Structure 1
Amino acid sequence: MDYQVHTLPNGIRILFKHAPFTVTHCCFLINAGSRDEAAGKDGLAHFIEHLVFKETERRSTSQILNRLELVGADLNAYTTKEYTCIHASFLQEHLERSIDLFEDILFHSTFPREELEKERGVIQDEIASYLDQPEEAIQDDFEGMLFEGHTLGNNILGTTESVDGLTADDIRAFIKANYATDEMVFGVFGNYDFKKVIKLAEKYFAPIPANYSKKQRQAPTVNTADSIIQHKPITQTHCVIGTQAYPSSHPDKYGLLLANNLLGGMGMSSRLNLEIREKYGIAYTIESNYTSLTDTGIFSIYFGTDTEKAARATKLIHRELKKLRDAKLGTLQLHQAKQKFIGQIALAEESRMSLIISMAKSLLDFGHADSLEEVFDKVNAVTAEQVLEICNHVFDNNRLMTLVFEPK
C-alpha cells in the first residue's frame, strides 16, 4: 500500500502519502456539494466555500489570507456537485501552520453580515462572468436539462436571485446537516513521518465534536432523448450532446472512460478531433467528457463552430458514435487506446495536488484509494466486447440529449 490512513475518534480520516519533496500538498475534502442544497438555496455550498476565507473567531480576513501567503504558500478551494475542497501547497516546514488554518476556517468561521454582503456581490459578478462565456454556460444548462427536477441539475454557482436570498442561518443549517465528520478526509502528500502528521491532526482536528452523516441522497430518474435550441446574443453556435452515464462504483466505469478517451478525450488524436477538426476543419474545439458521480454519471460531447457548419458537425459526431456502436474494436485499436489512456493517467499523477485530492475522494467514496498499478490493471482488463456493449448502451440515440445555443 503506498498510502496510510488514520481515523480520529470523531470520524475525520487522515490520508497520508509520502514523497521526498520539499513542497507539500494537502487538501480537506468534505462530502457536501450543490446537490445537497435545499429547494431555493441554489449556490449555498459554493457561497460557504467563499465565506470560510473571511472572518473566524480568532482571525480577520486579512490574517486568514496572509497566514499562508506570507510564507509563499498557495491556498484555494472549489465546490462541485458532491464535494467541497480546501487545498494548499507550501514548503514542508509549514505543515502545522496550514493545519491550524484549515481547522480555523472550516470549523470556526463566523459569517459576519458585512462579509456576506461583500461576497454575495463577488459571486453575482462571477455568475455574470460565466454567463458571458457560452462554452461554459451551455455545459451547466445541459446538466440542468439532463437532471431536470433534481438538485444535480442546479448550477453550482446558483442564480443571481437565489444567491441574493442566502443568509447566515442558511449557511449554519447547511453545515450542520452536511458537514459530517465521518464524511471528511484531510489528505497530506509530503516528506514527513506519518506519526508527525497524526500528532498534528490529533492536536487540531480531534477536538472537533463528532457529527455523523445522516443524509441520504436520492438518485435522479433516467433521462430520455430530447433536443432544445436556445437563441443567445452570441456569434457562434455551441452544442452539447450527451446523456446520463455510469456512477463511480459501476463495473463498466473504466470501459466508458476508455471509450470516451478514444472518442474525444485528451490530445489531438481523438476520433472526433481527427474527423471534425483535422479532416474537415469544422470546429476549433471539440471534445467529449465522462464524469462519474456517486449514483449516476455525465457523458457529453461539446463543440463550437460557425452556425452554417453546425448541422454537418452534428451529423459527423453521430456517425462516429454509430461506428462505436456497430463495430467492435480490433485487437490493435484496443491496445493502442489502452496505451494512450494509461500514459495520460500516469502523466496526470505528476500533478501531486490533483493526486492527493483524487485519493481523498476515493477514500470518501469507496473506503480505499487504488494504486496506479491497480488502475492500470482495471484499464487493461477492459475487453473489446465490453466497449461495444457500453457504447450501445450509453450512446443509444433514444437516450442522447442535445442542447444548442444559436446566435439570435
Structure 2
Amino acid sequence: MTLEQIFPSGLRLVFNQMKNTRSVSVGVFIKVGSEYESSDNNGIAHFMEHMMFKGTSKRNAFQIADDMEKIGARMNAYTSKNHTAYYSVSLDEHFENCMEMISDLIYFSKYDEIEMEKEKTVVIEEIQMSEDDPEDLCMDKLFYAWYGNEGPGRRILGTKDNINSFTQKNLFDFRDAEYDPGNMVISIAGNVDFEKAKDLVNKYFEANSRLSSLVPILRKKVIPAKESVLTIKPLEQANIAFAYRGIDYIDDRTLAINMMSSLFGGGMSSRLFQSIRETLGLAYNVYSSAYNFSDSGVFTIYLGTSPEKAHKAISEVKKQIQMLLEKGFSPEEFSKSKEQIKTALVLSLESSSSLMRMSGKRALLKNELFDYDLELDLLTKVTIEKLHEINEYVFIGDNKSISYVGKEPDFRIEEI
C-alpha cells in the first residue's frame, strides 16, 4: 500500500515498503519538460538535468559519480515531455547516502559557467545524434506535425540556438521558479520503514525547501495542427509514422487505450507485427504507442521499411485499421491483453525501481496514490465494448498526421 506525507512546504512523499528486498529506490519527480516550455526556453529542463551532475558546492563532477559508485549504487536522471526525474537504486544500508547525494544535486548545484559551455557542446552532440537516428527524427517530426510548435510538439532536447543561449542566470531562475516543492514528488520504495523515510526527506529536502509559491498556470489548450511533415534524407529505409487522437493522462480510458495499443501494435503477437512483419515481410520494426499529456494525448504508429515497399506497408496499416473498426478485437485477444497488464502490474511490485517510478509519476501527474487492488478493479471494469469505443475514438474522423523521413517517395504523403 502506498503511503503519503505532505510536508509544510508543499513537498510530497509517496512511500512503498518492500520488506522482502534488500534494495531501496529513491526518485525525485518534478513537473518540468518540453510540454511546459516556451519557444524561447525549449530545452532548458533537459539542459538543467545535465548540469545537475556537473558540480555542487561540495562535490565536483567526478566526485558525484565516484561517491555513488563507491557504495555500488546507481544514480541517474531523465527528462520527458511532461516531467524530469532524478533517481537512485542502492542497497538498503546506503539509503541515507543516496538521499543526501540527490538533495545535493537539486539544492546545491553551481551551474559553473565553464562547465556550462562544455555541456552545451555535449547536448548539441546529443541533438545531432538524435537527428541522425531516422526513427527518433521521424517521431520528433510526428509530434511537431500533430501539435505544431506548441506543448508536446516541442522537442525534449530543445534547439541548438536555445542551448547556446542559456546562461547561468537562466538556470538559477528556472530552478527557483519550477523546482518548487509544490511541483515535486519524492517517491521511495524498498526495505526501509516509513518513519525513517519521512525523517530523511525532512532532513535533506524539506529543510532546504522554501514555502511553495507555485501559482497554477492556465495554459492554452493545445489544438492539434494535424499537418504532415516530409523530411528528405539519403537513407536506405523509409521511416513512416502516423498520429491519431489520444487521451490525456487523467482520462479514465487510459487502461482501455493501453490495452488497445498492446493488441494492435504493442508486441510480437499484435496485429501490426503479425501482418506487416511476419505475414508480409514488409518491415523489421513496426509498433504502436499511446502517449498521454496534461490536456491531450496522441496515438502513434511507426514503421520502417524499404522505399519500394513503403506504399504497400502503408496500405496494410490502413487495412488493419479498417478491420479493427469493422470487427474489433476477439474475446481471446481481449483476455490476452488483460493478462499482460495484470502480469506487468504484479512484476512491477517485485522491483523497488519499478514501484518507485510508477508511484512517483502517478502522484505527480495524476495526483493519485498507486493502489494495486484499485488497479486490478479498474482492469476488471474494462470491457471489450469499451475497447471498441476507443478504436472508434482514435481512428474515426479527420484526425491524422503523418511524418515521413527518407528518400523522396513516389507518392504524396498528404494522400495517404
TM-score (norm 2): 0.93
| 1:164 maps to 2:164 | yes
Q: How far did residue 14 of structure 1 move?
A: 1.6
Please tell me whether the aligned partners of residues 225 and 401 of structure 1 are also in contact (alpha carbons under 8 angstroms).
yes
Please tell me whether the aligned partners of residues 41 and 162 of structure 1 are also in contact (alpha carbons under 8 angstroms).
yes
Deviating more after overlay: 393-402 vs 233-242: 393-402
The equivalent residue for 1:252 is 253
Deviating more after overlay: 223-232 vs 238-247: 223-232
How far does the alpha carbon of each residue in 1:271-296 deviate from its partner, in whole angstroms, 9 at most, with x for none?
10011100001100100000211211
Cα 1:337–1:126 change in 2 (3 A) is: same
**Counterparts of 2:88 and 2:181 in 1: how far apart (Å)?**
20
Query: Any gaps of 5 or more consecutive residues in structure 1?
Result: none
**Counterparts of 2:225 and 2:52 in 1: how far apart (Å)?**
40
Q: Secondary structure at the match of 1:299?
A: strand
**Counterparts of 2:129 and 2:220 in 1: how far apart (Å)?**
31
**Counterparts of 1:29 and 1:143 in 2: how far apart (Å)?**
23
Q: How far did residue 77 of structure 1 move?
A: 0.2
Q: Which amino acid aligns with 1:23?
A: S
The equivalent residue for 1:153 is 153
Q: Secondary structure at the match of 1:85?
A: strand
The equivalent residue for 1:193 is 193
How far does the alpha carbon of each residue in 1:57-79 deviate from its partner, in whole angstroms, 9 at most, with x for none?
22222222222111111110000
Share of identical aligned residues, percent?
28
Query: Any gaps of 5 or more consecutive residues in structure 2?
Result: 409-416
The equivalent residue for 1:243 is 244
Q: Which amino acid aligns with 1:320?
A: Q
Q: How far did residue 388 of structure 1 move?
A: 1.5
Please tell me whether the aligned partners of residues 261 and 341 of structure 1 are also in contact (alpha carbons under 8 angstroms).
no
Cα 1:291–1:225 change in 2 (3 A) is: closer
Cα 1:337–1:35 change in 2 (3 A) is: closer
Cα 1:280–1:328 change in 2 (3 A) is: closer
Q: Secondary structure at the match of 1:209?
A: coil
Deviating more after overlay: 390-399 vs 349-358: 349-358
Q: How far did residue 351 of structure 1 move?
A: 4.3
Cα 1:336–1:238 change in 2 (3 A) is: same
**Counterparts of 2:118 and 2:285 in 1: how far apart (Å)?**
36
Cα 1:106–1:349 change in 2 (3 A) is: same
Q: Which amino acid aligns with 1:31?
A: K
**Counterparts of 1:350 and 1:238 in 2: how far apart (Å)?**
37
How far does the alpha carbon of each residue in 1:26-49 deviate from its partner, in whole angstroms, 9 at most, with x for none?
111111112222332221000000
The equivalent residue for 2:229 is 228
| 1:270 maps to 2:270 | yes
The equivalent residue for 1:16 is 15
Cα 1:164–1:74 change in 2 (3 A) is: same
Please tell me whether the aligned partners of residues 326 and 388 of structure 1 are also in contact (alpha carbons under 8 angstroms).
no
How far does the alpha carbon of each residue in 1:300-334 deviate from its partner, in whole angstroms, 9 at most, with x for none?
00000001111111111111111222224343342
The equivalent residue for 1:4 is 3
Cα 1:116–1:215 change in 2 (3 A) is: farther
Cα 1:43–1:387 change in 2 (3 A) is: same
Q: Which amino acid aligns with 1:6?
A: Q
Cα 1:263–1:348 change in 2 (3 A) is: farther
The equivalent residue for 1:357 is 357
Q: How far did residue 150 of structure 1 move?
A: 0.8
**Counterparts of 1:240 and 1:400 in 2: how far apart (Å)?**
10
Structure 1 outlier segments of 4+, above 3 Å: 219-222, 224-228, 328-333, 344-352
The equivalent residue for 2:335 is 335
Q: How far did residue 215 of structure 1 move?
A: 3.9
